[in-house]
Amino acid sequence: MAAATLLSTRILTSPQTVKASDYPVVRTSKVTYIYTKQGDLVKNRALQANTDWRMGKQILINDEYYDQVATNEYVKDSEVYDPSIQQQNIQFHLAGRVVGGNADLFDTSINRISSRKLAEGSEWAVSKAVINQNGVIFYKISKTEWVPSNHMWLNNLATITYDAGFGLTANDNNNNSNTNTGTNTNTNNNNTSTNTNTSKPTRVELPKDAVRSAILKSVNDERASLGVAPLQETPGLTQTAVTRANEIVQSFSHTRPNGSDCFSAFDENGLSYHAAAENIDEEIGGNGSTPEQLATAVMKSFKDEPGHAHYNSVVSSTYNYIGISSNYDATTDRYYIAQDFIGM
């Protein structure tokens, strides 16, 4: 499962042709989908998060209000807000959804898995995340209860705290530690020997070229299944993806570590285009024991997300070129994947 995915598109920019006093302003708080005046989803466009838009008229479609942001382009009124009202400090709480069956709970009050389980599909507020010495991540959902990360998908990135010994007694599939301690005492010789052997999972990064090829094949196979022409790689776009895959390990965002947006990396590599988009994805290493399995996990995360924004970029005929790169962080056992698209 993907820990997090983010989409950015460079198709629309804030309108500049109206006076500030002509129309009220609405602000997006997340990547916001666009609809026609008939209520049909515009599949190759989206408004970036935290951007302001002059609002034209408001229409009602199927008992839901839509705000006009361009000619025949509308957003749901429920997905934007008036920045002049005191809503600037909206807090986005970290939450998780139980996936992969009912989830066991590690209870710190008894230091083991409890008899209680969380139902698949249920959603819980998450207050903390911890990773132990074996790379197993736990999410805190109550005072003493923690869910292993293989059973929970988060709505956003979590700040993970390292605690080497946390959860080592949990009887969880992700806990692969093997510790054998033997003590032999011979009282006649007064010799005591203690042998301890602790083995930890070996983490080896998959070859980057193999990962890139597997993801490209997965993308083009998906496009072929829909009758869409395959995407081609270009050196400049591949280098853009390499840059971005390195950067998102530091900051998982479409804003680069230097504060500029992701598309400045496109410009640095001399790319010209009429449309561009970026998908970034974070996968737990266990999802990618082979390049093909990692590619499958990436595609599944895009197809499973509500709204299919990332998937739409993958299969959109607007784009005809792609750059792909991955980066592996051994400290957290996570892969960071960048997919950069352009249409020419």
Q: Is the pLDDT of residue 332 over 90?
A: no
Average the pLDDT over 222-240 and give the result: 94
d(C-alpha 258, C-alpha 261), whole Å: 9
* pLDDT score, position 7: 55
* pLDDT score, position 14: 31
- Quote the radius of gyration of the chain (alpha carbons, Å): 24
Q: Is 255 helix (H, G, I), strand (E, B) or coil?
A: strand
Under 8 Å between Cβ of 337 and 325 = yes
Beta-bridged to residue 181, according to DSSP, are: 196
Average the pLDDT over 89-101 and give the result: 66
d(C-alpha 201, C-alpha 186), whole Å: 34
Structure tokens at 90: 């909206």
Higher-confidence residue of 85 and 214: namely: 214
Report pTM: 0.48
Chain-wide mean pLDDT for the chain?
A: 77
Structure tokens at 179: 């510790």
Write out the H or E segment, with its range, that includes residue 299: helix 291-304
Of the pLDDT bands very low, low, confident and very high (cuts 50, 70, 90), residue 315 is very high
Under 8 Å between Cβ of 42 and 71 = no
With pLDDT > 90 as the criterion, what percentage of the chain qualifies?
Answer: 23
Q: Please state whether beta strands 64-70 and 178-186 pair in parallel, antiparallel, or not at all (unpaired).
A: unpaired
Q: Which CATH class is domain 208-343?
A: alpha beta
DSSP string, 73-86: EEEEGGGEE-TTSS
Under 8 Å between Cβ of 93 and 152 = no
Lowest mean per-residue pLDDT among 8-12, 15-19, 60-64, 225-229 = 15-19
Q: Is the pLDDT of residue 215 over 90?
A: yes
* pLDDT score, position 337: 94
Lookup result for tokens 């999410």: 139
Domain spans, the chain:
25-84, 95-162, 208-343
The tens digit of pLDDT for each residue in 123-132 reads 888 888 888 8
With pLDDT > 70 as the criterion, what percentage of the chain qualifies?
Answer: 77
Q: Is the pLDDT of residue 209 over 80?
A: yes
